[in-house]
Amino acid sequence: MEKLQRFFESQAFGVCTKLGEKLNLSTSSIRLFFIYASFITVGSPVIIYLGLAFVINYRKHLRRRQNPVWFN
């Protein structure tokens, strides 16, 4: 079970983990919220999840472009 969980966490975008760190909530409760909300609202939280994943990956990309070794 732990091996399967580690696989999904490494392959996923990390949105639930990032939200958990920012809001001081457990990652599993945020994941359950997304799952339950997806069933109740017929998948609209999936769009929110993908949007957040895009923002997180874009910010990572911007941070990589800024080279901390060379100062102006």
pLDDT (tens, 9 = 90+) of the chain, 72 residues, equals: 678 777 766 667 788 888 888 889 988 888 888 888 888 988 788 888 888 888 888 887 787 776 666 555
Q: What is the pLDDT of residue 52?
A: 87
Q: Report the pLDDT value the prediction gives residue 59, as an integer from 0 to 100.
A: 84
pTM of the predicted protein model:
0.61
pLDDT at site 24: 92
The confidence score (pLDDT) of residue 10 equals: 63
Q: What does 7-71 look like in DSSP terms, one character per residue?
A: HHHHHS--HHHHHHHHHT--HHHHHHHHHHHHHHTTTHHHHHHHHHHHHHHHHHHHHHHS-SSS-
